[in-house]
Amino acid sequence: APSSSDSSGDFLHCLSASIPSDLIFTQSSSSFTSVLVSYVRNPRFIASGTVRPLVIVTPTNASHVQATVLCGRLHGVRVRVRSGGHDYEGLSYRSVNPEAFAVVDLSLLRSVRVNAAKATAWVDSGATIGELYYAAAKASGDRLAFPAGLCPTIGVGGHFSGGGFGVLQRKYGLAADNFLDAILVDAEGRILDKRAMGREVFWAIRGGGGESFGIVLSWRVRLVPVPPKVTAFIVPVTVADGAVDVLTKWQQIGPALPEDLFVRVMAINDTAIFQSVYLGTCDALLPLMSSRFPELGMNRTHCREMTWVESVLYVYVGSGNPIPATDMLNRTYPMDGFYKATSDYVRDQPISRDVWAEIFGWLAKPNPGLMIMDPYGGRIGVVPESATPYPHRGGVLYNIQYMNFWGAGDDGEPHVRWIRDLYAFMAPHVSKDPREAYFNYRDLDLGRNVVVGNVSSYEAGKVWGEKYFKGNYKRLALAKGRIDPDDYFRNEQSIPPLVPRK
Ligand code: FDA
């Protein structure tokens, strides 16, 4: 095993030969903890007993990333990469099992370069999606956007490589459907663009998770047009006011509405909160809502016209007054709760009214969490399953995310149990064979790698891999076999290498 303290010492020595010392934080540096926690978004994974990195490197250019990989390979220390630190299981900065590893934290590599005339941008992995949205809007007079997630502090690196969906998914698909190029540092320390990494690896990092293939430094993306004013609305409906019926109806309407209209639902306690962004005016939206979804009772008083960037914040924060677009640049939006999450997809058949009534029973139990339903249909559904590693496409009505939060001082056990019990209850009502899950809503309950002969096992990885990737799992493993056959870039749910026998 290469993790002895000797090799660790040699590794640190190697790093300091190529990287300025103020970018290297060992466990004995006074700022180690503050650098570590600065991008921890789930404080469960900084509790005592968590396996922490030996060292954190905060590169300011690509050569520092290359040097970390080369030193790591030479001295047998693995590297994990962190962009925004939002991983639900903290895998970008902690290891489940004891292991000496380094973290490459990309938060200082975060430039966003927009070419408004071409509607493209180069964005570094350490940028947040909020920074990208803001830059695209600013360069285009609020006419360009990018189809990715809702929470502005999400890091580009993890989010993009795992798929990335949000309010524009019905019109423009996933983030991963809109990449033109990428720059990757591989396990040999080489810098590769799309052509140099090859078709299969470029395919793999568009939804298969970057961490299995290397360290993605930056992405060239296609920006998408939005009107300078869009309309957002939030309409809460309680169970007493008919939430069960309205939500039952939404399952058919949400995925079938015109692509310009995105209406998602958050179910929490006794309320279904309908949250929407429409790429048009309130005047155009009202007749659409009253003809297609009159059950919701949405009317002119609910309309809020604003820029697209503002609408993302409006829906993310959930209620109240519109929030200034500059809040997109806040890298430390509060996200202090401890949490556990997991996901499902509902395909073909909507869930029955009776089952929704039971689900609201779950939401009324002690220590309940919440559910977020994102509608599919439109662009996200017409891309073929094999076009990117993200396979949850045609036939999906919506994605469900289950989350449960708790505070410091609570061990979270009843909250985690609530999620696991509800997940078991939901089994007959969601996708089957495999029961699909979203890679970016990472859940280690779905399975973990088993290492055999110092390589993650392809067979064992099917347990979780086919849930996230369905039939694309094998192709991902072959891509991994090409670029990293030794399985240097490895974590608890990284793609195992599959190397065809000659
Ligand atoms: P982080 O840095 O923790 O990385 C996540 C994983 O990607 C790790 O395994 C890491 O090693 C790897 N990785 C990171 N950077 C890499 C790089 N440069 N190269 C290679 N591998 C890299 N998702 C969504 O689709 N839509 C949404 O609306 C939301 N909303 C949301 C809200 C909140 C509050 C949270 C916490 C999360 C979401 N997500 C989401 C999920 C989010 O997409 C997911 O957690 C991303 O992986 C986060 O990317 P980060 O870079 O922030 O995470």
**ipTM score assigned to the predicted complex:** 0.99
pLDDT at 5: 59
Could you read off the pLDDT of 156-168 as tens digits, one per residue? 999 999 999 999 9
Asked whether residue 140 carries a pLDDT value surpassing 80, the answer given is yes
Listed in sequence order, the DSSP H helices in 323-412 are: 353-363, 379-382
Nearest to 276 by CA among 252, 306, 249: 306
Model confidence at 454: pLDDT above 50: yes
Give me ligand 1 centre to Cα 85, in Å.
Answer: 7
Determine which residue's CA is closest to atom 40 belonging to ligand 1. Answer: 149
Q: How far apart are CA 85 and CA 128, in angstroms?
A: 10
Given a cut of 90, whether residue 471 has pLDDT beyond it is yes
Q: Whose C-alpha lies nearest to ligand 1, atom 6?
A: 158
Dist. CA 157 → ligand 1 center (Å): 7
Nearest to 400 by CA among 369, 365, 433, 445: 369
Identify which of 37, 183, 440 to mutate to test ligand 1's pocket (most ligand atoms within 8 A of the CB): 440
- Ligand 1 atom closest to Cα of residue 154: 52
Give 200-213 pLDDT, tens digit per residue. 999 999 999 999 99
Pocket of ligand 1 (CB under 6 A): 41, 80-88, 91-92, 106, 125, 149-151, 154-155, 157-159, 161-166, 210-211, 215-216, 335, 440, 491
Q: What are the strands of the beta sheet with 271-278, ordered from one edge?
A: 304-306, 230-238, 271-278, 261-268, 370-375, 396-406, 338-347
Confidence of residue 1 (pLDDT cuts 50, 70, 90): very low
289 three-state secondary structure: helix
- The answer to whether residue 265 scores a pLDDT higher than 70 is yes
Q: Which amino acid is at 92?
A: S
The strand ranges marked E within 83-136 are 101-105, 112-115, 120-124
Tell me how far the alpha carbon of residue 166 lies from the centroid of ligand 1, in angstroms.
Answer: 13
| Contact indicator for 331, 153 with CB cutoff of 8 Å | yes
Distance from residue 283's CA to the centre of ligand 1 (Å):
36
Residue nearest to atom 20 of ligand 1 (CA): 210
**366 in Cβ contact with 421 (< 8 Å):** no
Q: Comparing C-alpha atoms, which of 289, 262, 177, 187 is closest to residue 497?
A: 187
Tell me which of 146-155, 335-344, 369-378 is least confident: 335-344
pLDDT band at 500 (very low <50, low <70, confident <90, very high): confident
User: For residue 438, which atom of ligand 1 is closest to its CA?
Assistant: 25
Q: What is the distance in A from the centroid of ligand 1 to the CA of 93?
A: 12
Is the model's pLDDT at 2 over the cut of 50? no
The best mutation among 81, 443, 488 to test binding of ligand 1, ranked by most ligand atoms within 8 Å of the C-beta, falls on 81
Question: Which of 82, 266, 330, when mutated, tests ligand 1's pocket best, judged by the most ligand atoms within 8 Å of its CB?
Answer: 82
Atom of ligand 1 nearest to the CA of 126: 18
Q: What is the pTM of this model?
A: 0.97
409 or 116, higher pLDDT: 116
Which is the closest atom of ligand 1 to the Cα of 215? 19
Mean pLDDT confidence for 401-420? 94
Determine how many CB atoms are found less than 10 A away from the CB of residue 143. Answer: 18
- Helix, strand or coil for residue 331? coil
pLDDT score of 427: 98
- Is residue 324 over pLDDT 80? yes
Answer yes or no: is pLDDT of 408 > 50: yes
What is the rounded CA–CA span in Å between residue 276 and residue 356? 21
Of 51, 98, 68, which is closest to residue 488 (Cα–Cα)?
A: 68
Residue 6 has a pLDDT of 67
Please write the tens of the pLDDT for every residue from 476-490. Answer: 999 999 999 999 999
Q: What is the pLDDT of residue 385?
A: 98
Q: How far apart (Å, rounded) are the C-alpha atoms in residues 319 and 236? A: 10
Chain-wide mean pLDDT for the chain? Answer: 96
DSSP 8-class letter at 232: E
Among the listed residues 358, 307, 301, 356, the one whose alpha carbon sits nearest the alpha carbon of residue 328: 307
**What pLDDT does 334 receive?**
63
Distance 241 CA to ligand 1 centre (A): 36
Query: Rounded mean pLDDT of 449-469?
Result: 97
How many angstroms separate the alpha carbon of residue 289 from the centre of ligand 1?
33
Predicted pLDDT at 319: 67
Q: What is the pLDDT of residue 346?
A: 98
Ligand 1 atom nearest the C-alpha of 441 is 41
- Mutate which of 81, 86, 317 for ligand 1? The one with the most ligand atoms within 8 Å of its CB, which is 86
- 256, 170 in Cβ contact below 8 A? no
> What is the number of the ligand 1 atom nearest to the C-alpha of 150?
28
From the alpha carbon of 493, which atom of ligand 1 is closest? 9
| Cα gap 381→366, rounded to integer Å | 36
Give the pLDDT mean for 12-25.
Answer: 98
